[in-house]
Homo-oligomer: A and B are copies of this chain.
Amino acid sequence: MPDLPPGVDVLWGRREQAKRGPRPNLSIEQIVDTAIDIASAEGLGPLSMNRVAENLGKSAMSLYRYVRNKDELLQLMTDVSAVKNAPPEPDQDLGWRPNLERWAYALVDLYRRFPWVLHVPLGPTPPIGPGQLAWLDRALACFRRTHLPAEVRIGVVMLLLTFIRGQVRMSQEINLGAAGAAAGYPPYGEMLRMVVDKDQLPDLAALVDEGVFDDPGEGMSDREFELEVRFGLTMIFDGIERLVSQFEEAQ
């Protein structure tokens, strides 16, 4: 029987504790927590094994007694963040749409609380930790009273996952760009006016002239972001609604 990928045993608490040898002075939980603290405060850039060990008052190599890899540490961090911010329990009296909407906005909150999660390179397998699977399960639970076939349910949930992930990530990066505006670059609208040619990019030029790209405030405000996400989610939920009613009629 083949083994599970590294880290999975840890996530599900199936790591057998040592019988011999000195007592461990650290724990994976401590390591992952401090790593999460660093990443949440300063991002993934400054997160190095050295830095984590330093914050724990230990040497860098000591971490490798608990974690095979830096990548494994990142995977653990990702799943633990999903545990720290658990999905809401759907209320089966409410119908699928309000429940799924609550779920979706809770996911947005997760990515806003732990922005670095969006920059963790995906591991060798699809999500398999308890945190991420709990999110998956709660989304699927919203469809209990519908007649959607199994494949469609997953398809819909995956659609929401990728869309929310992409949207939050993009807004993050746009915000980062706004911070770069302090570095001396002109605002986006200005830059576009400098390079966009009316002949080669006519439709874009029209929008630039309308001032659509001229951000009034500093970068993208929380309200603007909310609107952008809500816009996309509404469109997607409308599509799901059509799908659900199709399979309801077929019943």
- A60-78 contacts to B, CB under 8 A, are none
**A136 nearest CB across to chain B (Å):** 6
Q: How far is the CA of A236 from the CA of B183 in the complex (A)?
A: 37
Q: A interface, by DSSP: helix, strand, loop or mixed?
A: helix
Contact present for B231 and A235 (CB under 8 Å): no
Q: Compute how far the CA of A12 lies from the CA of B192 in the bound complex, rounded to whole angstroms.
A: 12
Pick from A23-31, A103-111, A161-169 the stretch touching chain B. Answer: A161-169
**How far is A234 from B150 in the complex, measured between Cα atoms in Å?**
18
Given A185-B5, A195-B8, A236-B239, CB of A125 within 8 Å of CB of B155: no
CA of A169 to CA of B122, assembled, Å: 10
Q: Which residue of B lies closest to A122 (CB)?
A: B173
**Which of B122, B134, B151, B204 sits near A140, CB closer than 8 Å?**
B204
A41 interface contact, C-beta 8 A: no
| Chain A interfacial residues counted at CB < 8 A | 75
A100 to chain B, nearest CB (A): 13
A-B contacts, 25 of them at CB < 8 A, read A1-B186, A2-B185, A2-B186, A3-B184, A119-B121, A122-B176, A122-B177, A124-B185, A125-B177, A126-B188, A133-B195, A133-B196, A134-B201, A136-B204, A140-B204, A140-B207, A143-B203, A154-B212, A155-B228, A158-B170, A162-B163, A162-B169, A162-B232, A235-B240, A238-B238
Residues of A within 8 A of B (CB): 1-5, 8, 12, 119, 121-126, 128, 130, 133-134, 136-138, 140-141, 143-144, 150-151, 153-155, 158-159, 161-163, 165-167, 169-170, 173-174, 176-177, 180, 183-186, 188, 191-192, 194-196, 200-204, 206-207, 210, 212, 228, 231-232, 234-236, 238-240, 242-243
